[in-house]
Structure 1
């Protein structure tokens, strides 16, 4: 069995200090050039077990990727997942990364160019609110992306993914989640902020980013995500990762 090795480091040389200035006004969070430049450091320090999640996603994606099919990464950001998959998946599988942020795709293109990837990685601008097209897919990965889609459009997005998947194709979904129980919700969030403190984020940075994400990142409960997948038509749905208010779900058509 092939060894899982990420093709690129998950962190960049640039440290995330987007919200470090106390006097900086806070607007809605966007994946602009400033965020793109530090995104790899941001996600590595903000998402618990990020490298392990990437490894698990790659293992499961390899299990389902079929020759002569398409593998889509929706919300591909800086192409970390696609580049990590490059050495693991049959070269005849087409890699397609979709993101709605041109600055993120520019950073992804730079990383792909430097990587010497054996796959031709097609990076596309696509807005999930406007609709995208998928076809002949054996694998779709969607890491920390659905939570940024307005709830009104999530059912349509899932139906688009489902229709573009081949039979026995899989969706790998990683999301931040909330809990219906207010006690657990409070505890999980506090432990998450403690995680960010351990990774060097200040109280100002934690507070300002929370404010910036308030109307942008809208998490579902785990049960709501599971129900959405089942109602879309996926025959098998299972959790493969859970850490407090983060989870990974695999769904098979």
Structure 2
């Protein structure tokens, strides 16, 4: 299989994202189906500024918070990029990763990529890949949880309950790492960063048609919050501190401490 550089390792397909390249009579709501899975590495690299940096450094940050004899969760794991980063950077006794996604197509391909990672590296953390709805998944005591561009796809009224369950499951000294697309309270700032994000997509080869149709597909499915909304919700869920550690245009990542 052709290689894909960066946090996905050498085992990920490089099929280009052309899903919205042709005019569609009706643009369907975005879904993580087999078509998206096939081009997902290319799609996310060309659509999310800073994505490879975020993924790799989640692994680095996990090195500070992960604890022996504990679980690390990758919730909304997609193809397992964060799981792979966790396994590269964390080497602790009796520590394991549980990767969860509700897309059967994602889970199947994620297992393939992690199997390939096992063949390339020795002494990696054991990993279990589960097809499940994270809103209904019982969480084991854990030292680290990654929600990497996952919360934004969950209905806003369900977000606090999920974060509260994560807070309850976290061990003392653990952390939640939350990455999200942001909206901004200031209208001018929101418009500017939105325009710059579109410029980022153009620079990565997306046409105006692709940009417009993708926006139409995703606008009812992905509902971003502001950084202040994230902070207030995390504090309401019981976290004691919220520390933004990365932002590139309108995409950011933060650490929430119990």
User: What displacement does 1:232 show?
Assistant: 1.0
The range that moved more, 111-120 or 228-237, is 111-120
Aligned to 1:169: 174
Aligned to 2:3: none
Structure 2 SS opposite 1:250: strand
Q: 1:206 to 1:10 in 2, by over 3 A?
A: farther
Aligned to 2:18: 17
Q: 1:65 to 1:31 in 2, by over 3 A?
A: same
Query: Does the aligned pair in 2 maintain the 1:69–1:136 contact within 8 Å?
Result: yes
Task: Give the alignment's TM-score, normalised by structure 2.
Answer: 0.92
Structure 2 SS opposite 1:178: coil
Give the total of aligned pairs.
248
Say if 2:186 is the partner of 1:185.
Answer: no
Aligned to 1:114: 116
Task: Give the alignment's TM-score, normalised by structure 1.
Answer: 0.94
User: What displacement does 1:87 show?
Assistant: 2.5
What are the superposed Cα offsets for residues 141-175 of structure 1, whole Å, 9 maximum, x if unpaired?
01000000000100111011111111111000000
5+ long unaligned stretches in structure 2: 1-5
RMSD: 1.6
Structure 1 SS opposite 2:84: helix
Aligned to 1:48: 49
Aligned to 1:149: 154
User: What displacement does 1:120 show?
Assistant: 2.1
Query: Does the aligned pair in 2 maintain the 1:8–1:84 contact within 8 Å?
Result: no
Say if 2:213 is the partner of 1:238.
Answer: no
Query: Does the aligned pair in 1 maintain the 2:151–2:180 contact within 8 Å?
Result: yes
Query: Does the aligned pair in 2 maintain the 1:64–1:139 contact within 8 Å?
Result: yes
